[in-house]
Amino acid sequence: MKYLLLWLEAPLQSWGIDSKYYLRDSITFPSKSGILGLIFAGSGLFGNQKELLARMAPLKQTVIAFTIDGKIPTIITDFHMVGNGYNSNDSWQKLMIPKTSEGKKAVGGGSKLTYRNYIQDAKYSVILEIPDDLSEIFINGLKEPIGDIFLGRKNCIPTDFIYQGLFESEDEAINKGLNIGYEKKQIPAFKVIDGNFHEEGDVFSISDIPISFGEKKEYTSRRVTMVKI
């Protein structure tokens, strides 16, 4: 096994794990499903990828969050309207009825207000355990992505190189990630590690282990510990 180091930096990031309908929430750190989705897209690994996801499921992911003051990242909410598009060829009567951007009648017959949450003041180093035989594929996908890569949502465009190295040990990758944060004058806020370590921090379940990507996405849960640094 090797350890892949990613650096995630952008004006906005959003890492949802249970978002649906009109609330698109975000947790305060990158999810494993989001990280694998980013890497798979960059590597051109489209479709459900069930076999490859099964290989990645038991492998470790460690996240270190950085902020300018070492505090928990701030979540902001964007109020987003859906169903406000109009067709210029419509009569004035029809123009009074909200439409989708394609000119069709909006679902439910009118415009909808959705809530989309974003992280605006954090940067992350992510250390992902990967099999040796996948390292070249993943690295090339991050350096010269085939599909679009973004930090949770399509409007969250990375502003620094994501790939920051491949290491023989997790400790080497963690130290390099910390050094990147210090060079950028960022303070570590917390670390998220796999497993139950009640003596070290807060333990909770998170449904972010992907079983299948593609049209019918499936996920299962893992236990993680959030450690204050």
pLDDT digits (tens, 9 = 90+) for 71-123: 999 999 998 776 555 555 655 555 556 566 676 666 655 567 788 999 999 99
Residues 21-73: pLDDT tens digits?
A: 678 889 999 999 999 999 999 999 999 999 999 999 999 999 999 999 999 99
SS3 133: helix
8 Å CB contact between 168 and 39:
no
CA atoms within 13 A on the CB side of 77: 9
pLDDT reading at 138 higher than 60: yes
CA 139 to CA 39: how far, in whole Å?
9
Residues 166-200: pLDDT tens digits?
A: 999 999 999 999 999 999 999 999 999 999 999 99
Tell whether the torsion through CA atoms of 133, 137, 142 and 148 is positive or negative.
negative
The residue among 207, 226, 163 whose CA lies nearest residue 28 is 226
Query: What per-residue confidence (pLDDT) applies to 22?
Result: 74
CA 23 to CA 44: how far, in whole Å?
29
Mean pLDDT of the 5-18 span:
94
- Measured CA distances, 40 to 33, 35, 49, 77, 147 (Å): 10, 9, 9, 28, 8
8 Å CB contact between 64 and 229:
yes
The residue among 60, 66, 21, 5 whose CA lies nearest residue 191 is 66
The model's pTM is 0.86
Domain boundaries in the chain? 2-11+32-69+122-228, 78-113
Token readout for 90 is: 């419509």
2-11+32-69+122-228 maps to which CATH number? 3.30.70.2660
